[in-house]
Structure 1
Amino acid sequence: MNTVVNDPTRTVLSRVIGWFAKGWENSAEADMIASLDDFTIQSIAHDCGISPDQLVELAKAGPHAADEMLEMMRALNIDPAEVEMRLRAQFRDMQINCAHCASKGECRRDLANGNAAANFAQYCANSQDLNALRASPDFLAG
């Protein structure tokens, strides 16, 4: 069994982004996106609960554009699988925020050196959501 497919933290959105990236490894993403018809883009976006423009932007960002969000949740003792299961739309919106984040360098440094929990509120677009989640025992990792 493929563990990536069974990983509860891999959302439909991240799988779609992964599909785009894998299919376009040897091509320019913009060219590949342009080759899809509007109906296909709209259908995929609808299935993911996002706009077609967001889908195109996320595909260009790549399959790992929101990996920091999952790492940040773990650094804050938040269970990403529980959040995704109970708050699917909020989880997706947080992934989109993370994918578009301009503070990835600072985030990655803090995650790597163990300072993320102390510093994330200064730069993370998801800080309010993350603080609310870690204040709720229902979303804390076991």
Structure 2
Amino acid sequence: MHTVAHDSTRTVLLRVLDWFSKGWESSAEADMIAALDEGTIRSIAHDCGISPDQLIELAKAGPHAADEMIQMMKTLNIDPVEVELRLRNQFRDMQITCAHCASKGECRKDLGTGAAGEAFVHYCGNAEELNALRANPDFQLG
């Protein structure tokens, strides 16, 4: 199996999810991923640094399952590209947390109204990591 080429602005995980979404647009079709042979699923998951079960769950969630995390980082003056480049594993783990979040509605509302910068600490599964990143001048935008 050939591996996905390096791209400094996107993680392997998002590229794989993009690839899946182009092939399987609906959630019913995403279930087809589970029908791939176990070796293929394991190989793709390994390339992404996640478990096969996480890969299937994230593919079902779709390619935009962690968009709120990027928006939140920017709202908090955190450079997502710099975080991804320097803290690749943490960035991936934060994406997984965001993709599985049950507070997406509240998060989107707060991002839309400008309240997210203060309110996120009450519901965001990445709040601790985000606060640490925004306190570090190496990861600030600009």
Shared fold (TM-score, shorter chain, > 0.5)? yes
Deviation at 1:83, TM superposition (A): 0.3
Where structure 2 has 5 or more consecutive residues not aligned to the other structure, the ranges are none
Alpha-carbon spacing, 1:68–1:26, altered in 2? closer, same or farther (3 Å) = closer
Equivalenced residues, count: 138
4+ runs deviating over 6 angstroms? none
Calculate percent identity across the aligned residue pairs: 73
Mapping of 1:29-40 within 5 angstroms?
Answer: 29-40=29-40
Q: Tell me how far 1:6 sits from its aligned partner.
A: 9.4
Amino acid at match of 2:113: N
Q: Distance in 2 between matches of 1:87 and 1:98?
A: 16
Correspondence for 2:84: 84
1:28-63, Cα deviation, whole Å (9 max, x unpaired): 235311331000000000000000000000001000
The CA distance in 1 between the partners of 2:75 and 2:6, in whole Å, is 22
Give the superposition deviation at 1:9. Answer: 3.7
TM-score by length of 2: 0.92
Q: Does 1:45 align with 2:49?
A: no
Counterpart amino acid of residue 114 in structure 1: G
The TM-score, its normalising length taken from structure 1, stands at 0.92
1:102 aligns with 2:107: no
